[in-house]
A = this chain, B = another copy of it.
């Protein structure tokens, strides 16, 4: 692998080309001009090879996932993406081909999300690759979403479908070999390339009382909202939106249901809104062409309950569940 300076000049500096704040990646830090009336929103998330992605995942997709899990945090705050800093810690023997493909993935997503690289660093390790990305967003503070705002009586909504991230990881680990190729492919794609719900978040501004992105699992993340807001959350199991592939899995093995709700990596937006805001939420979903489903409600108390069709509690025992 080429040296740090050559690597930065050859692969990373071009990603910062049209961002004056990056100072050509040739200074000690990036300079972010004052956003005027708004606030900067910052998040820092790390992916470890063999833990958060698989060593044979294509480097383009690893890069895009790293960027997107951080953009998903910005979406969960209702912020708009502005730029990012990147820290690459790669094994010494990792070749430049991997890095070139990784940077190509970043370039593709930079264009999709209208952002650029602002700074960071590149080091080598004798251990596993560790990739950290600090995403910077913009938003007006009083309009940003918080986990703490859910009110008793509010409704609970979620975007997209739940459980595909966990199933996609299982597929990448050679489980569910009996699924149709298209379904396996769709699930793997969901695991490798999440879709940060930025357009939905933008359309929802002003209509949401609390929000989070589903990274730890639907039940665990609902638990974070319940705890931070000081409320109880009731989720209707039958209403949780599932993909066709997930339904195929459940048709074969209904016992997989808890692992769909407890598994992470969905990066869907889970949020609460008042009953009065229900129509505004549905309009925002349509305006942003993002499927949104009402899956439960907020009650007094604490913790998360999963209810069956008759409104009776379903017992769930999953890693995600223990955090509630």
On A, residues with C-beta under 8 Å from B are: 3, 5, 23-24, 26-48, 50-52, 73-74, 76-77, 79, 85-87, 89, 118-121, 123-128, 130, 132, 134-137, 139, 141, 144, 146-148, 212-213, 224, 227-228, 323
Please give the distance in Å from A21's CB to the nearest CB on chain B. 9
Contact A87–B46 (Cβ < 8 Å): yes
Complex Cα spacing A141 to B33, Å: 7
Q: Closest residue to A23 on the B side, CB-wise?
A: B146
Other than the given A44-B121, A125-B128, A130-B130, 6 more pairs (CB < 8 A) read: A29-B41, A29-B77, A31-B141, A46-B89, A46-B121, A125-B127
Complex Cα spacing A28 to B136, Å: 12
Which 10 A-B pairs have CB atoms at the shortest separation, nearest pair first? Answer: A127-B127, A127-B128, A29-B43, A28-B73, A130-B130, A28-B76, A44-B85, A132-B132, A32-B40, A46-B87
Contact A125–B34 (Cβ < 8 Å): no
Q: Closest residue to A120 on the B side, CB-wise?
A: B44
Please give the distance in Å from A120's CB to the nearest CB on chain B. 5
If A147-B27, A228-B26 touch, does A44 touch B132 (CB 8 Å cutoff)?
yes
Contact B125–A29 (Cβ < 8 Å): no
Contact B45–A87 (Cβ < 8 Å): yes
Residues of B within 8 A of A41 (CB): 29-32
Residues of B within 8 A of A134 (CB): 42, 44, 85, 134
Q: Closest residue to A124 on the B side, CB-wise?
A: B51
User: Which one of B29, B128, B227 contacts A74 once the chains associate, using CB atoms below 8 Å?
Assistant: B29
User: Which one of B5, B126, B132 contacts A87 once the chains associate, using CB atoms below 8 Å?
Assistant: B132
If A44-B85, A128-B125, A132-B132 touch, does A213 touch B28 (CB 8 Å cutoff)?
yes
Residue of A31, A121, A224 contacting most chain B CB atoms (<10 Å): A31
Residues of B within 8 A of A118 (CB): 42
Please give the distance in Å from A89's CB to the nearest CB on chain B. 5
Contact B42–A32 (Cβ < 8 Å): yes
Enumerate 28 A-B pairs (CB-CB under 8 Å) in ascending A order. Answer: A26-B148, A27-B146, A27-B147, A27-B228, A28-B73, A28-B76, A28-B77, A28-B147, A29-B135, A30-B43, A31-B39, A31-B40, A31-B41, A34-B36, A34-B37, A34-B38, A42-B119, A44-B44, A44-B132, A48-B124, A48-B125, A51-B124, A87-B132, A89-B130, A89-B132, A125-B128, A126-B127, A128-B128
